[in-house]
Amino acid sequence: MASSGLGGAILSRAILVLLAGVAFCAAALAQTSGSATPQDNDANSTDAMKDGLQDPRIEGAEPGKSWGMWDIGRPHPLQGKGAFEDHDPIGVAAGKLIPTDCSFNWTDPDTHQVFCFGSQASLVYFLSAPKTNESRAEKRWRMLKGLPTG
């Protein structure tokens, strides 16, 4: 009995030594491997912080007041132009008025009507059956507003 206890202790100690060796090798490898991504010396420059896209939210900014792509305080250019008074159509179809800022939007290619969404998930769900979801939202919108559903 005593010999099996001694053997178990030796085995446990051997496992601990092995794990310590693996941890040491992993740490040494992490220090020598360096970064997989090459360093970009221009990443901290002022030009790198500017948005290169022709974004109307940035282009229409007052001179000297723009923070480039970091300026999130401006309203979306489509805000106020969406169907259902900028409420999420999936929410409207469920009978809930979820206001949006039109950051997530989709324009119907047939009617050119803009739909604003409260989240990307709502937009993706809507696009799984856009005509069906649009008609469901339109029907519920009329009910919510007290308009004839005919």
Q: Which of 53, 54, 71 is nearest to 62 (CA)?
A: 71
The verdict on residue 26 lying in a domain is no
Q: What is the pLDDT of residues 113-129, one digit of tens each?
A: 999 999 999 999 999 99
The verdict on residue 119 lying in a domain is yes
Do 133 and 126 form a contact (C-beta atoms < 8 A)?
yes
Percent of the chain beyond pLDDT 70?
A: 62
Q: What is the pLDDT of residues 98-116, one digit of tens each?
A: 999 898 999 999 999 999 9
pLDDT at 96: 95
Q: Tokens in use for 57?
A: 């939210």
Q: Which residues span the domain enclosing 111? A: 83-145
Give 3-state DSSP helix, strand, coil % of the chain, rounded to 5.
Answer: 50, 5, 45
The verdict on residue 28 lying in a domain is no
Please tell me which residue, 1 or 16, carries the higher pLDDT value: 16
The verdict on residue 127 lying in a domain is yes
Do 120 and 96 form a contact (C-beta atoms < 8 A)?
no
pLDDT at 79: 87
Q: What is the DSSP letter of 36?
A: S
The verdict on residue 125 lying in a domain is yes
Please tell me which residue, 78 or 134, carries the higher pLDDT value: 134
Which among 19-28, 32-41, 89-98 has the top mean pLDDT?
89-98
pLDDT at 12: 79
pLDDT at 119: 94
The verdict on residue 4 lying in a domain is no
Taking the CA atoms of residue 46, residue 51, residue 53 and residue 59 in that order, the dihedral angle to the nearest 10 degrees is -100
What average pLDDT does the chain have? Answer: 78
Domain total for the chain? 1
Is pTM, for the whole model, over 0.75?
Answer: no
Q: What is the DSSP letter of 102?
A: S
The verdict on residue 41 lying in a domain is no
The verdict on residue 112 lying in a domain is yes
Encoded amino acid at 38, one letter: P
